[in-house]
């Protein structure tokens, strides 16, 4: 590759006024997590890896250049992103196979989270190469940890589809997942997405995390409906956005779930008692549930 670095020169990095040497790396693809905003969040191991790697592959060379310059790392970055992956990927795989060290970084955070790096990992592994994670910053984990929502189980759903119909379908698929849901979202779509979430998921507790680790870091904690209304009334927010949505509420059952519950209870308890028990279990009104049960029976349910 034209931009393969001379692995014997300039292996080192600087923190403040102190200079450090970086030891040579074994041949492998190194997945290096980089800061999501505050450049001080870089790990020492990440700096050592970037300084020693013979090739530094990244989404945007201009973004990575800022980080490398901050820590005195004299490495020229080469582009690897979704638009050139078919061309650049095989060259990086060959570099690892021929005994070189390749560091892969995204513009921010942990590689492979909502970026095309998984293809490269798949290709390196298929070629018999080694893949080494260098853990560190992650917007997903930072938002989840500070959200105040349950963290014992969570599902990262990435970016939702931009088209309303596809977005609604995806959200409905996630409605019953018994875990906190975490999404990345574009600031300009945030208000619409929160409204769609309210409709599809119910009015659950939620958090919008914005500009994480940066000067104007913000966490807004409210229900989905309250957040949707707030952002609809404001100008488009700036910065990267993470949305965390609490798990289903105890009474957050789908229409099909409630219908099935009513019919099951009615088979054992009779209509009136079934409606009462369903009201206790779901938080709904007995009169409404009784009326729905009658409709189901008249339809042959």
pLDDT for residue 4: 43
* CA neighbor of 209 nearest in space, from 153, 149, 252: 149
User: Which domain, by its residues, includes 272?
Assistant: 255-298
Based on the domain organization, do 129 and 20 belong to the same domain?
A: yes
Inter-axis angle of helices 224-232 and 190-201, to 10 degrees?
Answer: 150
Indicate whether 60 pLDDT > 50. Answer: yes
How far apart are alpha carbons 23 and 53 in whole angstroms?
10
pLDDT of 276? 86
User: How many independent structural domains does the chain possess?
Assistant: 3
CA 252, CA 198: separation in Å to the nearest integer?
12
pTM of the model: 0.79
Is 64 within the bounds of a domain? yes
Residue with tokens 């923190």: 15
Q: What is the pLDDT of residues 42-53, one digit of tens each?
A: 999 999 999 999
Higher pLDDT, 38 or 290: 38
pLDDT digit string, tens, across residues 7-29? 445 789 999 999 999 999 999 99
pLDDT at residue number 160: 96
Task: Tell me, yes or no, whether 105 and 204 share the same domain.
Answer: no
278 lies in the same domain as 204: no
Sign (positive or negative) of CA dihedral 112, 115, 117, 119? positive
- HEC string for the chain: CCCCCCCCCCCEEEECCEEEECCCCCCEEEEECECCCCHHHCCHHHHHHHHHCCEEEECCHHHHHHHHHHCCCCCCEEECCCCCHHHHHHHHHHHHHCCCEEEEECCCECCCCCCCHHHHHHHHHHCCCCEEEECCCCHHHHHHHHCCCCCCCEEEEEECCCCHHHHHHHHHHHCCCCCEEEEEECHHHHHHHHHHHHHHHCCCEEEEEECCCCCCCEEEEEEHHHHHHHHHCCCCCCCCEEEEECCCCCCCCCHHHHHHHHHHHHHHHCHHHHHHHHHHHHCCCHHHHHHHHHHHHHCCC
The answer to the question of residue 206 being in a domain is: yes
Judge whether 7 lies within some domain.
Answer: no
Residue 251 confidence (pLDDT): 56
Q: What average pLDDT does range 173-200 have in this prediction?
A: 94
Residues 204 and 275 in one domain: no
* Gap between the Cα atoms of 284 and 275, Å rounded: 9
CATH number at residue 58: 3.40.1010.10
Percent of the chain topping pLDDT 70: 92
Range 244-258 average pLDDT:
73
Q: Are residues 128 and 144 in the same domain?
A: no
pLDDT of the residue at 282: 62
Averaged confidence pLDDT in the chain = 90
Co-location of 124 and 22 in the same domain: yes
Mean pLDDT of 233-257: 82
Q: Given this model, what pLDDT does residue 194 score?
A: 97
pLDDT over threshold 60, residue 275: yes
Mean pLDDT of 130-156: 96
Poorest-pLDDT segment among 45-49, 113-117, 213-217, 250-254: 250-254
176 within domain boundaries? yes
- Which pLDDT value is given to residue 252? 56
Checking if the pLDDT of 99 tops 50, the result is yes
Mean predicted confidence (pLDDT) in 257-282 = 80
Q: In terms of domains, do 160 and 43 share one?
A: no
Whether residues 123 and 178 fall in one domain: no
| pLDDT confidence band for 301 (50 / 70 / 90) | low
Q: How confident is the model at residue 147 (pLDDT cuts 50, 70, 90)?
A: very high
> Is 60 exceeded by the pLDDT of residue 253?
no
Last residue of a domain, one of 137, 164, 187: 137
pLDDT at position 2, please?
43
Residue 127 and residue 32 in one domain = yes
More confident residue, 267 or 222: 222
């Amino acid at each position: 590759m034209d931009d393969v670095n001379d692995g014997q020169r300039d292996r080192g990095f600087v923190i403040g006024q102190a200079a450090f040497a970086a030891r040579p790396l074994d041949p492998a693809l190194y997945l290096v997590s980089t800061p999501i905003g505050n450049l001080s969040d870089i790990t020492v191991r990440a700096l050592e890896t970037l300084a020693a790697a013979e090739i530094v592959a990244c989404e945007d060379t201009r973004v990575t250049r800022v980080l490398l310059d901050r820590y005195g790392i004299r490495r020229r970055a080469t582009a690897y992103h979704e638009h050139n992956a078919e061309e650049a990927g095989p060259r990086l795989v060959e570099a690892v196979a021929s005994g070189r060290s390749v560091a892969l970084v995204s513009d921010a955070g942990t590689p492979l989270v909502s970026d095309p790096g998984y293809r490269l990992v798949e290709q390196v592994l298929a070629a018999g190469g080694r893949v080494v994670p260098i853990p560190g910053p992650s917007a997903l984990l930072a938002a989840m940890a500070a959200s105040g929502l349950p963290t014992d189980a969570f599902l990262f759903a990435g970016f939702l589809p931009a088209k309303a119909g596809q977005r609604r379908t995806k959200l409905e698929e996630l409605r019953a997942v018994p875990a906190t849901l975490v999404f990345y979202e574009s600031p300009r779509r945030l208000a619409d997405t929160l409204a769609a979430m309210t409709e599809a998921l119910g009015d659950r507790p939620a958090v919008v995390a914005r500009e994480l680790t940066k000067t104007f870091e913000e966490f807004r904690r409210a229900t989905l409906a309250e957040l949707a209304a707030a952002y609809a009334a404001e100008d488009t927010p700036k910065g990267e956005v993470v949305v965390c949505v609490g798990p289903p509420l105890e009474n957050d059952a789908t229409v099909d779930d409630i219908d099935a519950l009513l019919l099951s209870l009615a088979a054992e308890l009779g209509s009136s008692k079934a409606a009462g028990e369903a009201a206790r279990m779901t938080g709904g009104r007995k009169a409404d549930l009784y009326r729905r049960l009658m409709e189901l029976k008249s339809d042959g349910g």
